[in-house]
Structure formats: C-alpha cells, structure tokens
Amino acid sequence: MIEQHLFSIAFLSQVVLASIYIPSRIARRMSFIFDTYPPSTHPLLYPKPFDDYVKMQRGYRLANRIIAGIGFSVLVASLFVPRGRELMNGMAFLFFMVQILPLIWLEATVRKELKLMRSLNPRTTRTAELNPRRLFDVLTPALFWATVLVYLAFWVFIAWFRQFDYPWFGGFINNLIITGLNVFFASILLWFMYGKKLNPHQSAEDRMRVTRRLATVMCLVSIAVTLYAVITIFLSAEDARAFQPIARSVYFQVILLLSVQTYRVDLLDFDVYREDAQAT
C-alpha cells in the first residue's frame, strides 16, 4: 500500500514538474526574449511575422495546461476507480511521453525557424574561429572521467550480477543499451562541435556556451541513466518491483530537469540579430 501512496506523490510531482513548472519557465524565457529583443531592434531574430511567435508561445502554454488537466484527472480518478492505481503504474511512462510532446513540437519549430533564418540570411560574409575545438574545451575533465568511470563500473556490476542467474536478467544486453545511448550522445556532441552551424547569426562564443552546456547535460544524463539501470536491477532482485514505477517516475523527472537546464538567456549575444550587426 505504501508504494501506491508513494507512486501517487511521484506522479503528482511528475505532472506539476513536466506540465506546469518547466513549461512556465520556458514560456517566461520566451516572454523575456520578446520583450527585451523585439522585432523593431532585432529583426534578424524573427524570420516570420512576430504574431506567429506569440501564437506559438500561446499554443505551447495551452497544450501543457490541457496535459496537466488530464494528469490531475487521471490521478483523482485512480483514487476512486477499483484497481485504478495499479492501472496508473503502467500509464506513468505513456503519460510522460505525452508530457514531452509539446517540448518536442517546440524543438521541431525552432529547427524550422533556423532553416528559414539560414535561407533569408542577407549577409555575404561568414566568420569562423581559427582555433580547433577539442573535447576538453566543452567538457571538464572531471565530469568526462566520472562519466567514463560510471560506464566502466556498470560493466563490472553486470559481470558480477550475472553469477546470480536470475531468469529475468538480460545480462550484457544492459551494457549494449547503455553503450548505444552513450554512442548516441557522443554523436550529438560531435555534431554540435564540428557540424554545420544551424543558426547563421550565432556568435562563436555563444556556440561554445551552448555546446558546453549540452556536453555537461549529456554526461549527467548518461550517469543518471546508468544509475537508474542499476536501481531497476536491484529492485527486481530484491523482489521490490512494486517500487519500479516510483523509481521510473522520479528518473523521468530527473532526466527532464537535467535536459532543460539550458544556458542563461541573458548571457547570450543578441546583438547579432540586429540589422547592422557584423557577420558571425
């Protein structure tokens, strides 16, 4: 019973965090940009009419409010429907996927905006840094080696755990999954470091700032995912599978919190979006 109460609390926290707190922070950040860097002074920031961006912000807020409403309804209904809480345990993952849909939509919209920005870029000059970018320019050695250490420790853990011969245990498949994720993260980081510049106006300093933040977040997420895998395996071994939905919900929240920890907007160079700005 205690695990059901804990899960309800975790689910409530998931609804509040993913559909209210984080969206409101993102919407506030948008408002800050709209107010501080309006189209009149920073026309290159808005390749489309300004109203479209206001509508986008409104749509994002509305979608999250609807999802939060659904989340609260499901939570309340689970208290009264027979076996409702058990049903909800399985739904937590699906609901999380629904919760991140507005964020994915926003990201896709930004990508489209950047594409439009590139096609409308009026400048004929392009600038680049004449210095090579290296891994430790974007990542502290301590965090990098901590991530590698956690990854290697996971191999040792799986090798040690295999001796217990649990029928449900996937063995080295766990390592493959974690390795796949780390390879995926490494490819994204390489693409950010050496790939084509998506934002034609972004300054070299801002690009480094964004890449540094991304590298840090990906290392933290990699560590979090590995720890979550260890916790899940332990919960199964201890026959405490009832606690898994709670662990999953907390894990989603941690991942989401880490993922949206972006750079400070006020530190970015918005002067590059002025009409008379120099090429970047």
HSE-CB for 220 with a 13 A CA cutoff: 16
Is 119 a residue that touches other proteins (CB under 8 A)? no
Q: Which is nearer to other proteins, 160 or 194 (CB)?
A: 194
Is 127 a residue that touches other proteins (CB under 8 A)? yes
Is 167 a residue that touches other proteins (CB under 8 A)? no
Is 136 a residue that touches other proteins (CB under 8 A)? no
65 contacts: CB under 8 Å, gap ≥ 6: 19
Q: How far is CA 93 from the centre of its chain?
A: 16
Q: Candidates 3-11, 130-138, 240-248, 256-264 — which segment interacts with other proteins by CB under 8 A?
A: 130-138
Task: Choose, by CB under 8 A, the member of 197, 212, 213, 241 that binds other proteins.
Answer: 197
DSSP 271: G
Task: Choose, by CB under 8 A, the member of 40, 119, 131, 163 that binds other proteins.
Answer: 131
Is 126 a residue that touches other proteins (CB under 8 A)? yes
Closest distance between other proteins and the C-beta of residue 218, in Å? 20
Closest distance between other proteins and the C-beta of residue 212, in Å? 16
Q: Which is nearer to other proteins, 92 or 193 (CB)?
A: 193
DSSP labels for 209-262?
HHHHHHHHHHHHHHHHHHHHHHHHHHHHHTT-GGGHHHHHHHHHHHHHHHHT--
What is the separation, in whole angstroms, between the first and last Cα of the chain? 60
Contact 61, 31 (CB under 8 A): no
Is 279 a residue that touches other proteins (CB under 8 A)? yes
Is 82 a residue that touches other proteins (CB under 8 A)? no
Task: Choose, by CB under 8 A, the member of 94, 128, 142, 156 that binds other proteins.
Answer: 128
Is 176 a residue that touches other proteins (CB under 8 A)? no
96: left (phi over 0), alpha (psi -120 to 50) or beta: alpha
Q: How far is CA 192 from CA 95, 134, 195, 256, in A?
A: 30, 12, 6, 20
Containing 41, the helix (H) or strand (E) segment is: none
Count of residues in contact with other proteins, rule CB under 8 A: 18
- Find the binding residues for other proteins in span 177-196 (CB under 8 A): 193-196
Contact 279, 123 (CB under 8 A): yes
Q: Which is nearer to other proteins, 86 or 129 (CB)?
A: 129
Is 204 a residue that touches other proteins (CB under 8 A)? yes
> Whats the size of the chain, residue-wise?
280
Task: Choose, by CB under 8 A, the member of 35, 125, 168, 238 that binds other proteins.
Answer: 125
| Residues making contact with other proteins (CB under 8 A) | 124-133, 193-197, 200, 204, 279
